[in-house]
Structure 1
Amino acid sequence: MTIESILGAIVIGAVIGAIGRLLLPGRQAIGWILTIVVGIVAALVGTLIAQGIGVETTPGIDWIELVMQVVLAVVGVGIVAGLRRSRV
């Protein structure tokens, strides 16, 4: 893994996490750093699931993989926000 791929994963994770947080209705009691971490995990897991079910990689944007990542980010942000809310 190179520095470029690590930085790319962070940037993509930040975008995926932000989109997931914006699509989740209501206010989430988590910070932006945790949102980025959830987005990075969602991006990685979404990619693994897409590869596992045989979604073909094409030149350009892989829309099916992107939708999987965003859905996982919405679920992840919801879970983390719920866990943080129940602790307070």
Structure 2
Amino acid sequence: MTDREVVMGWFSFIILGLIAGAIAKLILPGRQGGGWIATLLLGLIGALIGGWLAGLIFNIGYDDFWSIQSWLIAIVGAIVVLLIWGFITKSRAKA
């Protein structure tokens, strides 16, 4: 494997996470704290955590960029992170 392949893999993963964050924002009702940039970054974090948990719990991971499995893992991870972020920012707003 060359360095170029590794960079493209990370680049694809970043794009996947950003798009998953946007899809998660569209799926979740209501307003989460932060704007679109924060949502996209949280989606990237969610894709990372989703992939880690899917590998840990179900022994599955990201196949490739166009795999439905990869998209579902990234979107579910992004939704979970956005929900947690929503609870954190709601409790700060009340305090």
Quickly name the TM-score band, shorter chain normalised: 0.7 to 0.9
Q: Which among 39, 43, 49 is matched to residue 35 of structure 1?
A: 39
TM alignment of 1:42-57, pairs within 5 A: 42-52=46-56, 53-55=58-60
**CA deviation after TM superposition for structure 1 residue 14, in Å:** 1.2
The residue that corresponds to 1:69 in the other structure is 74
Q: CA RMSD in A?
A: 2.6
Is contact 1:30-1:80 (8 Å) kept? no
Question: 24, 28, 44: which one pairs with 2:28?
Answer: 24
- 1:87 lines up with 2:92 in the alignment: yes
Aligned-pair identity (%):
30
Is there any run of 5+ residues in structure 1 with no aligned partner, and where?
Answer: none
**What number of residue pairs does the alignment pair up?**
88
Structure 2 unpaired stretches of 5+: none
**Higher relative contact order, chain-length normalized (CA < 8 Å, sep 6+):** 1
Shift of 1:29: 2.4
- Give the TM-score taking structure 2 as reference length: 0.69
